[in-house]
A and B are shown apart, each in its own frame.
Chain A
């Protein structure tokens, strides 16, 4: 897997700092499971977080704080070594934890133009969904009010001169117009998170928007 599209520094920093809604965290955690380059970028910003803690203001602890902590430790259950989420077939562990199955088992719902989706349950602030775009199909032209992250899980899509394959992430900022087209020879499965509804250019998708929840 050759990953060409990584997360930009601002996003690596926001993720490392814990500033993002859950749906974006899910996309990035899944991307990091596929891209060592992005993982290293995030690790660098986490080191900056370490520096912020190290150089930050200390607050006086309550009296007996250490003893209270030792009591807490004594009351902890044994370490859950097997608790880490597992990769499920072609689905990286953090995503498998939300979907509960591999890609073949996803419960898809048609949303028109042959496109299918499956909405994932995440916290407030942004939504996450799996999208299946049929081979050769274009997503309706859309702009953004907010931030949209698209991570390719399977197949590939083209957007202008750029090709996005498995593990690649496309970051669409507010105001960006783009038209992803699935490559001709295979369906494309993506994980998409967005913090605003998409603005479609043509009339029909716009009318359908409340039903699609995209």
Chain B
């Protein structure tokens, strides 16, 4: 089913896990995301064994914290990434990762469908933008997310297409402002 499941559908599967502890929905999420998380962690320097264990941890966290997922704020891929990143910092760097305060609002029971759609499309569109970049730039961005670049290395890379990425910021900001008003 992987090929024709869109980002919006991944969010629907998380909602099924959240509301009904739906194991079939979870299995579909697991088949798609667990191998990607494992690959991501191996690129970040984890051994296959550690990456396997951490990928299982990440997916277990996704089940456990399904009630915290807000489909109007982030795509499932983005949420999975943040969980995997935190697990990596914990397992490979053995450091704490202080988190910002929770926003004063949590996930809404009936989120605006247009907002959910926009948020869920974000990773897909950024993925397409990433694929269109020259290889050197794409590799640099990937390395940054594998935890392989320092801030000064990122700052020194004037060729990084942060402007392209920045044009996406408007969306995220507009969504926040909508919530704040």
Contact = CB atoms under 8 A, between A and B. Distances in A.
A54 B124 CA distance: 8
B173 A40 contact: yes
B12 interface: no
Contact of A52 (B40, B89, B99, B169): B40
Given A26-B98, A57-B39, A72 B60 contact: yes
A61 B126 contact: no
A124 B48 CA distance: 26
Contact of B97 (A22, A36, A40, A48): A22
B98 A41 contact: no
Interface residues of B, number: 84
A119 interface: no
B1 interface: no
A64 to B, nearest CB: 11
A57 B98 contact: no
A40 B73 CA distance: 10
Interface string B43-61: 1000010011001110110
Q: Is the interface of A mostly helix, strand, loop or mixed?
A: helix
Contacts of A49: 78, 81-82, 85, 145
Contact of B152 (A44, A48, A84, A174): A174
B34 A61 contact: yes
Contact of A9 (B126, B129, B141, B166): B166
B95 A123 contact: yes
A56 B123 CA distance: 12
B162 interface: yes
A69 B96 contact: no
15 contacts: A18-B88, A18-B89, A40-B172, A43-B73, A43-B176, A47-B168, A48-B141, A50-B80, A53-B37, A54-B123, A59-B48, A65-B56, A66-B30, A72-B56, A94-B98
Interface of A: 9-11, 13-14, 17-22, 24-26, 29-30, 32-33, 36-37, 39-41, 43-62, 65-66, 68-70, 72-73, 76, 79, 84-85, 87, 92-94, 97-98, 122-123, 146-147, 173-174
